[in-house]
Amino acid sequence: MRKTKWTVFLSLILVLSIFLSACGGGGNNNAGEGGNEGGNAEGGEGKSEQVLNLLESAEIPSMDTTQATDATSFNAMNQIFEGLYRLDENNKPVLGMAADEPKEEEKDGETVYTFTIRDDANWSDGTPVTANDFIFAWKKAMNPDSLSQYASMFGTAGIKNANAIITEGDPLYGKVDELGVKAVDDKTLEITVTQKVPYFKSLLTFATFYPQPKDFVEKQGDKYALETDTMLYNGPFVMSEWNHGDGWTFEKNPEYWDNETVSLEKVTYKIVKDVATGVNLYETGKVDRAGLSADFVDQYKGNEDFVTRLEPTMFFLRLNQKNEALANTNIRKALYLAYDREGLVNVLLNNGSVAAKYFVPKEFAFGPNGKDFREFAPDGFLADKGAEEAKAAWEKGLQEIGKDSVDLEFLTTDTELASKIAEYAKEQFQTKLEGLNVTINKQPWKQFLELETAGDFDISTGGWGPDYPDPMTFLYMFETGADYNRMNYTSEKYDKLVSGAKKETDLEKRWKMMQDAEKVLIEEDFAIVPTYQRGTASLMKPYVKNYFLHPFGADTSLKWVKIEGK
């Protein structure tokens, strides 16, 4: 009897250990290989191994160009697909699938661009990229059934009928064949625009404007772009491995028309969510670039690998004018002036972020004269005013609303950084504005969005990154009744300037109107309190050359990257 019980116990252990060893077998294959990659390939003169190892903080949600909405997807797509143009080192659109600059023809107030697609533009299976592949992908995105969130980009580009096709109730709604694009023959693509926008070519570098291999996609059906073998590639790289939840690998695409320019043979991506882990992987040479959080910046500042980058992403506070106090311009002005942004960016963020008293970011949009949009007010509005003026405005405002104290709820998200920033803002406001009491309301992201959309807040934290390289991608947000105008701001003057700029064909005038609009938004109405323009700090190995970063669309281009002197 006794023996049987022990046998049961022992056999359980045995079963467990069999299970363990069975599991262990599978993962072992790459171990040896992985060990060599990061380490010492020194000595070889100029013949460095052309392998780049990178990190991403999230899984790729979608590789279907009509469905993607996030930075990770756009970034991956830019390496393995290509549109008519792609962004170069200076963020200028350079020819991609297009063989030449298009022929332009004006008639009846419309402009027709005729693009010729390269003869040597092929998909990775050797079949040619045709004009129909572009039209197929674009109409797929425009089709209301596909619910493509970026379908509005076709309208932004001024393409004929694009807005009507995605507007419910319009006679053209859903009629994708009415879109102003036409395949004249296999290699000739005509795009008709009803409004010429200055950033037209830049838009064509965006993922929604990529082609998709029509026959192949139709054959794959639901499975298209779910795995590496259900996609075809026309960019500098192909995706050779995709381990969902773990990472993915790109390899040089021999079918790419410009493959002579591409140096990298292989790029690996691993999904790493923990910043400290990323730094440790960097230190052991496993990865060539790692992002830093504020607590690591002090440790690495001054290190030769330390790099910062200013992104065109803006953070700001929405002041809800449904609140009686916040409906008062002087109260809003006081909040705008009381906030010390230097302390925020230098101490709390400490990552290359810049204090912002403006809403259209620096180093982002360049006007008809080639100058930065920000040049008309480089330091923002009322840059030299501070706590004293804030106090004056506050007292005036209180008088106007006939109160001596104000309670405001500050809605924010529950991440560590958001909490710190909220505490900072609360302290700034309460110490400088007497009689102000701020209560912080921290909510998980999804709940935060619900409350904000419903207008259920007094002050809320907002962030915005551009969808196309033009100030309008920021300024349209706060037109009266616009989707992102969640703070009940309404100004006829502002609306007139923004809608005017949308239609204006004189680029100089248009530029001026947008600058005036920003001035109204901030210096006259104090509709929002901009706080900072985001910077990011990273470590990057000095042997990684030509790693180009872009302010909109995909973050990076790996086409030109070289490993030198590793």
Partner 1 sequence: MGRYIGGRVVSMLVTFLIIASLTFFLMKLLPGTPFNNQEKMSESQIQQMNEKYGLNDPVPVQYVTYMTNLFKGDLGVSFQQDGRSVTTIIGERIGPSAYLGFQSLLIGTIFGLLLGIIAALKHNTFLDYGSMIIAVLGISIPSFVIAGMMQYWVGVKWGMLPVAYWEGFEYTIMPTIAIAAAVTATIARFMRTEMLEVLGQDYITTAKAKGLTSTAVVIKHTIRNASIPIITIMGPMVVALMTGTLVIEQIFVIPGLGEKFVSSIMTNDFPIIMGTTLFFSILFIVVILVVDVLYGIVDPRIRLAGGK
DSSP readout, 46-108?
S----EEEEEESS------TTT--SHHHHHHHHHH---SEEE-TTS-EEESSBSSPPEEEEET
Q: Does 27 bind partner 1 (CB under 8 A)?
A: yes
Nearest approach, Cβ of 467 to partner 1 (angstroms)?
8
Q: Please tell me whether residue 69 binds partner 1 under the rule CB under 8 A.
A: yes
Over the window 308 to 347, marking each residue x when it contacts partner 1 by CB under 8 A and - when it does not, the resulting string is ----------------------------------------
Considering the rule CB under 8 A, would residue 416 count as an interface residue with partner 1?
no
- Picking from 237, 258, 239, the residue whose alpha carbon sits closest to that of residue 249 is 239
Residue 27 Cβ vs partner 1, minimum distance, rounded to whole Å: 6
**Alpha-carbon gap, residue 392 to 327, rounded angstroms:** 17
Element (H, E) at 493: helix 492-503
Name the nearest CA neighbour of 268 among 254, 286, 293. 286
* Pairing label, strands 93-95, 85-87: antiparallel
144 binds partner 1 (CB under 8 A): yes
Q: Is 444 in the site for partner 1 (CB under 8 A)?
A: yes
Enumerate residues 276-295 that contact partner 1 by CB under 8 A: 276-277, 280-281, 283-284, 286
User: What SS3 class is residue 532?
Assistant: strand
Region near partner 1 per CB under 8 A, out of 29-37, 43-51, 127-135, 417-425: 29-37
Which one of residues 28, 90, 303, 369 is an interface residue with partner 1 (CB under 8 A)?
28
37 scored as a contact of partner 1 (CB under 8 A): no
By CB under 8 A, tell whether 9 contacts partner 1.
yes
DSSP per-residue codes, 281-336: HHHTTS-SEEEE-HHHHHHHTT-TTEEEEEEEEEEEEEE-TTSTTTTSHHHHHHHH
Q: Is 218 in the site for partner 1 (CB under 8 A)?
A: no
Whose tokens are 């460095």? That residue is: 48
- Binding-site member from 52, 193, 225, 326 for partner 1 (CB under 8 A): 225
Instruction: Figure out which of the listed residues 106, 108, 168, 384 binds partner 1, where binding follows CB under 8 A.
Output: 168
Q: Which of 10, 11, 35, 437 binds partner 1 (CB under 8 A)?
A: 35
Give me the DSSP letters along 451-464: HHHTT--SEEEEEE
For residue 400, state whether it binds partner 1 (rule: CB under 8 A). no
Q: How far is the CB of 314 from partner 1 (least distance, A)?
A: 13
When asked if residue 272 is in the footprint of partner 1 (CB under 8 A), the reply is yes
Q: Is 20 in the site for partner 1 (CB under 8 A)?
A: yes
Minimum CB distance to partner 1, residue 276 (Å): 6
Which segment (105-113, 154-162, 241-249, 550-558) binds partner 1 by CB under 8 A? Answer: 241-249
CB 440 within 8 A of CB 413: no
- Of 562, 559, 565, 476, the closest CA to residue 94 belongs to 559
* Total residues in contact with partner 1, by rule CB under 8 A: 61
Q: Does 449 bind partner 1 (CB under 8 A)?
A: yes
CA neighbor of 255 nearest in space, from 102, 131, 137, 97: 97
CB of 59 to partner 1, least distance (A): 7
Minimum separation from the CB atom of position 546 to partner 1 (A): 27
CB-based contacts of 301, cutoff 8 Å, min separation 6: none
SS (H, E, C) 200-236: HHHHCCCHHHCCCCHHHHHHHHHHCCCCHHHCCCCCC
408, 439 contact by CB (below 8 A): yes
Identify which of residues 225 and 337 has a Cβ nearer to partner 1 in the complex: 225
Contact between residue 69 and residue 153 where contact means Cβ atoms under 8 Å apart? no
Which of 93-101, 222-230, 370-378, 546-554 is the region at the interface with partner 1 (rule: CB under 8 A)?
222-230
Smaller CB distance to partner 1: residue 72 or 538? 72
What's the alpha-carbon Rg for the chain, to the nearest Å? 27
Q: Is residue 402 a contact point for partner 1 (CB under 8 A)?
A: no
* Percent of residues in the chain assigned helix, strand, coil, to nearest 5: 35, 20, 40
Q: Does 441 contact partner 1 by CB under 8 A?
A: no
**Closer to partner 1 by Cβ: residue 9 or 218:** 9
Please pick, from the candidates 450, 480, 508, 546, the single residue that binds partner 1 as defined by CB under 8 A. 450
| One residue of 11, 299, 427, 445 binding partner 1 per CB under 8 A | 445
Residues 464 and 424 sit within 8 Å (Cβ to Cβ) = no
* Cβ 151 vs Cβ 141: under 8 Å: yes
> Could you list the residues that contact partner 1 (CB under 8 A)?
1-2, 5, 8-9, 16-17, 19-20, 23-24, 26-31, 34-35, 59-64, 67, 69-70, 144, 147, 149, 168, 222-223, 225-226, 243-246, 270-274, 276-277, 280-281, 283-284, 286, 444-447, 449-450, 453, 467, 483
